[in-house]
Structure 1
């Protein structure tokens, strides 16, 4: 599933090659079905070039699933302690800077 236009689009969107790679890795996990059939279909379509990110963002077909996933994320984030939140932010920054996260 090689889609160079998706790679270019992710690079433009993130302005960070590591972040773009992370997003693509996430799409590859979704394509394997890790978050259900709807996200799997969407990720496969993105990775194959059958659909682009703009079309996904404008699609009502994925709205319910994105809304539910975002609500789950918000609940997770709200339940983090200040220490956990700061560690998560440090870990993400380290990954984006090319360093392994600290334990």
Structure 2
């Protein structure tokens, strides 16, 4: 049986970052920094994974060093959020890599 409607074209254009300012200190001054537009999302995800891993390791050391119960609870909550964020980022990186591998075949 022949298909009447062809499959849609697969976009070969890579996803790119868009200009996104940050570090405005709750609106008290204009943002000091920004994510630059035009970077590959694949590269941005790789950098995100490195930054999250760094935050995870730093926060874990703080969790181990703290003795005050109230503060320790907040640090451990942050630790679990960082762990989930890192897992999601690494999952996206693996998904991108798998997509690229199958598109080359």
- For normalisation by structure 1, the TM-score amounts to 0.30
| Larger strand percent | 2
| Higher share in helix | 1
Larger radius of gyration: 2
